[in-house]
Amino acid sequence: MYHLTLKSLYSFLIILFMSLSVESRHTNNWAVLVDTSRFWFNYRHVSNVLSIYRSVKRLGIPDSQIILMIADDMACNPRNPRPATVFNNANQNINVYGDDVEVDYRGYEVTVENFVRLLTGRLPAGTPRSKQLLTDEGSNILFYLTGHGGDGFLKFQDSEEVTSQELADAVEQMWQKRRYNEIFFIIDTCQASSMFDKFYSPNILAVASSLIGEDSLSHHVDPAIGVYIIDRYTYYALAFLEKVRPNSTRSMATFLAVCPKRVCLSTVGVRKDLFGRNTTDVPITDFFGAVRQVDLSPTHPLIEFDDSKIILTEEEQTFHQSYAYLPQFPQEIWS
Ligand SMILES: *[C@@H]1O[C@H](CO)[C@@H](O)[C@H](O)[C@H]1NC(C)=O
Ligand SMILES: *[C@@H]1O[C@H](CO)[C@@H](O)[C@H](O)[C@H]1NC(C)=O
């Protein structure tokens, strides 16, 4: 009798252990979104980072758990013909600047030192809560970095750079200080995969817009603005994320497949060896969502995403489709 109980206890423990190794154990979600470049002709980098900001916020990560670093202010740039807006698309369907963007580090605050201090938690005493990454061992963190980079570095504001080794060491400090459970690292820059090559800490899944030796390319110019307004990788990532709802059961593997080479023109790089789980079993909402539900203010009207006025090249036409904003709060309450 005793023997039998022990045996069933064993199998119970084994089953429990197996299920634990598949399920995520995170208890909260954070996002660190960084645009490292300045100047008007880099409009697209602001639009890139705000596209991801829009998506994680829509999917449920509250502003208090998003660190947004933007080196230059395109919305209020005197050269912006449409003040207080940033569009990801020449057709102006999605104003990614929105009504409620909370920038945590702006202008000259976007430095390598502040970035590394933010990650490692070595901030000066008295740093406001909004400028701190208050994660713990239960946090899943989404990193998104964009700007100008090269083999092994990412430039910050044309004046300094963070190397892939410095980044990897900062992440290792985070691991040793129990500041994360899992990290999903996205980078959209030239030779982007060089920035995740040096990672050596556990539980990191990384994706990059291009491989070493490749440039990451911009998507299209808005003639009114006169510059490229979004990069290809992020454009297709946003197109994918706009169709994801907070109750989505899609897997991270589907996100890793966005922007195949025929539309990206660069090869998207993926690094999975440090990540403990099979990406086909990991719901996308483990990183692009929140464990807790949040209510957002009903500031975004429902808009049909109409791409029909954009002139697309032949290869882009495979992505020619419309999609819509989600209602962020039951609209009937307000009418
Ligand atoms: C998610 O919720 C929407 C309504 O809010 C519903 O139409 C859809 O079927 C749900 N999807 C899943 C996968 O449960
Ligand atoms: C991940 O899971 C899928 C489907 O369950 C399976 O086909 C694939 O081989 C797995 N990959 C690894 C690396 O285990």
CB atoms inside a 10 Å sphere around CB 110? 22
DSSP secondary structure, 136-173, as one string: -TTEEEEEEEES-EETTEEEETTTEEEEHHHHHHHHHH
Question: Is residue 63 over pLDDT 60?
Answer: yes
Tell the residue nearest (CA) to atom 9 of ligand 1.
247
Given the residues 3, 26, 45, 190, select the one marked as catalytic. Answer: 190
Model pLDDT, residue 185: 95
Average per-residue pLDDT in the chain? 81
- Distance (Å, whole) CA 6 – CA 69: 54
Give the model confidence (pLDDT) of 80-114 as tens digits.
Answer: 877 777 877 777 777 778 778 899 998 899 999 99
Question: Is residue 237 over pLDDT 60?
Answer: yes
Model pLDDT, residue 20: 47
Q: How far is the CA of 280 from the centre of ligand 2 (A)?
A: 7
Tell the residue nearest (CA) to atom 14 of ligand 1.
247
State if residue 278 touches ligand 2 by the CB under 6 angstroms criterion: yes
Question: Is residue 24 over pLDDT 70?
Answer: no
State if residue 159 touches ligand 2 by the CB under 6 angstroms criterion: no
Tell the residue nearest (CA) to atom 7 of ligand 2.
280
Q: How far is the CA of 247 from the centre of ligand 1 (A)?
A: 6
Q: Which of 245, 251, 293, 329 to mutate to test the pocket of ligand 1 (most atoms within 8 A of CB)?
A: 245
Query: Is there a catalytic annotation at residue 148?
Result: yes
What is the bridge-based pairing of β-strands 149-150 and 204-208? unpaired
Which ligand has the minimum distance to the alpha carbon of residue 283? 1
- Distance (Å, whole) CA 237 – CA 264: 11
Question: Is residue 288 over pLDDT 70?
Answer: yes
Query: Is there a catalytic annotation at residue 320?
Result: no
CB atoms inside a 10 Å sphere around CB 235? 27
- Distance (Å, whole) CA 32 – CA 30: 7
State if residue 313 touches ligand 1 by the CB under 6 angstroms criterion: no
DSSP secondary structure, 3-44, as one string: HHHHHHHHHHHHHHHHHHHHS----EEEEEEEE---SGGGHH
Report CA 329 to chain centroid distance, whole Å: 23
Which ligand has the minimum distance to the alpha carbon of residue 281? 2
Q: Which of 274, 277, 280, 281 to mutate to test the pocket of ligand 2 (most atoms within 8 A of CB)?
A: 280
The angle that helices 112-120 and 164-176 make with each other, rounded to 10 degrees, is 20
Of residues 250 and 332, more confidence is placed in 250
Strand partners, 70: 35, 106
- 8 Å CB contact between 44 and 231: yes
List the structure tokens of 153.
Answer: 């570095």
List the structure tokens of 87.
Answer: 């569009």
Given the residues 3, 45, 76, 148, select the one marked as catalytic. Answer: 148
Q: Which atom of ligand 1 is nearest to the CA of 246?
A: 1
CB atoms inside a 10 Å sphere around CB 201? 17
Q: Which helix (H) or strand (E) holds 206?
A: strand 204-208
Phi, psi of 311 (to 5 degrees): -90, 115
Mean of pLDDT values over 191-200: 91
Quickly state the pLDDT bin for 225 (edges 50, 70, 90): confident
Q: How far is the CA of 284 from the centre of ligand 2 (A)?
A: 16
- 8 Å CB contact between 184 and 143: yes
Q: How far is the CA of 264 from the centre of ligand 2 (A)?
A: 26
Which ligand has the minimum distance to the alpha carbon of residue 250? 1
pTM: 0.80
